[in-house]
Amino acid sequence: MLDSFVRDMRSDRVGLVRAARRAYLLGLVALTLPGAVLGVVLLLARPAPMPFPAVLALLVLALVLALVALRLARSAAGNTELPARQAALTGAIQAATAPGVPLLLAYATLSQGLSVGLFLILAAVMHAVVWTQVPGWVREPEAES
């Protein structure tokens, strides 16, 4: 996997898009895997259910944070002061936060099925947005010296 990642990083724009998407997925896993473990621990502790208005407030907060993260990632990827490869990876890794926030909140509410479902839907939507936007963020890489 590392060989193909390095190969994609050194290739043309299409390869750089593949590398950015891999970096995004790795960032998402690194962000959410510890949350999954903590979510299971919380589930075993059987926490008191969260009132539905609080769940809705957290859902709105997750949406706002995900949109801010997406905007910051897009800005980082579009930074022309950075080489194209570095900008693409920086933006892609930062973009992992957009679906990561709702996923972490889903793990925190594992004991409540509806809450988990709402956060997972938001995470899936944000993932789809990031996945489709990453190619637009990647510039043609500069020639290596």
- Residue 79 is predicted with a pLDDT of 93
Domain that holds residue 13: 2-137
Helix (H, G, I), strand (E, B) or coil at 50: coil
Q: Could you report the per-residue pLDDT of 36-86, keeping only the tens digit for each?
A: 998 999 889 888 889 999 999 999 999 999 999 999 999 999 999 999 889
CA distance linking residue 97 with residue 16, whole number of Å = 20
- Residue 144 is predicted with a pLDDT of 62
This model's pTM is above 0.85:
yes
Residue 144 lies in a domain: no
Residue 108 lies in a domain: yes
CA distance linking residue 81 with residue 105, whole number of Å = 35
Residue 125 lies in a domain: yes
The count of domains in the chain is: 1
CA distance linking residue 122 with residue 60, whole number of Å = 10
Check pLDDT > 60 for residue 145: no
Residue 142 lies in a domain: no
